[in-house]
Amino acid sequence: MLQTPASFTPLFAPRPDPAPLSFLFHGGRLLVREHDLALPDAAMLERLDVDRTRLQPLGLYGERYCETGWFDSEPALPPGYALRGLRSLFADMDEGLLGLAARAAQVAEWARTHRFCGACGSGTILAAGERCYKCVQCGHMAYPRISPAMMVLIRKGDSVLLAMHLASPTKRFVPLAGFLEAGESVEEAIHREVFEEVGLRVQNLRYFASQSWPFPHSLMLAFTADYLDGEIRLDTNEIAEARWFGPDDEWPERVPHISVSSVLVDAHRPPGR
């Protein structure tokens, strides 16, 4: 799955390094060298006039120092370099680098959008020892935004419910999913979302796995649940189609295990399907 490599250690203070791994973004797209998807080196950062004082410490990938930042406007890139969306890199970029890029994208966007205090509008500075911006005037503290979202695979006998979400960029059948509301537990969100989206009630919720998902800053919390009662009734503002898939049905095609969604589905896929 898309995840931070085990050899990564977060850092909250910059560290001098002559050859860092630099993740630079504009509009959610990462700057890479086109022919091998390598990150820009120090010479390229100099050529692009990157302000190194606002680059954010990300951490250590083994012994390599990693940093992240952004361009306020789209840079004039030399031949051989391009800005690429993270999704377009799924099948091509080194797995460890891709996991770090997903993390770096969230840190860079947090830094870009918290240069000024959201409470009083004054400037902010990095707090010591943690990933936090602190207002120089009122002391308001801003941490990276993380948006928890539930995902649930509903089981009914030997069948499972999969749905096609209208907003999905992939247009595949996947488990139900939705963001938590303020004040909700994950379990409450599952019961609410399932009833709102397909009109069913469920029971016996069981945790499956979690995954950070950088579109834009989600934390996916995957569960299974057993069908309790109800008939499928679609929320047509959210769901294009939802149906039960059993051992005798034609299942959605297998996809690489980039997201916890595909892992969850394949863990319940009948043999040969």
Q: What is the pLDDT of residue 52?
A: 86
- Mean pLDDT for the chain? 95
Residue 264, phi then psi, degrees to nearest 5: -65, -45
Q: What is the pLDDT of residue 268?
A: 97
Q: What is the pLDDT of residue 98?
A: 97
The pLDDT > 90 percentage for the chain reads 93
Is the pLDDT confidence value at 54 over 90?
no
DSSP 53: G
Q: Which residues pair with 207 in a beta bridge?
A: 223
Q: What is the pLDDT of residue 269?
A: 96
Q: How far is CA 224 from the centre of its chain?
A: 21
Distance CA 222, CA 192 (A): 15
Dihedral (CA of 28, 59, 113, 54) sign: negative
Which is more confidently placed, 51 or 181?
A: 181
Is the pLDDT confidence value at 259 over 90?
yes
Is the pLDDT confidence value at 273 over 90?
no
Regarding pTM above 0.85, the answer is yes
Is the pLDDT confidence value at 118 over 90?
yes
Q: How far is CA 226 from the centre of its chain?
A: 27
Judge contact between 111 and 91, C-beta under 8 A: no
Cα end-to-end distance, the chain, whole Å: 21
Question: Where does the pLDDT of residue 167 fall: very low under 50, low under 70, confident under 90, or very high at 90 and above?
Answer: confident
Predicted confidence (pLDDT) per residue in 192-220, tens digit: 999 999 999 999 999 999 999 999 899 99
In which region does residue 59 sit, left (phi positive, over 0), alpha (psi from -120 to 50) or beta (all else)?
left
Q: What is the pLDDT of residue 169?
A: 78
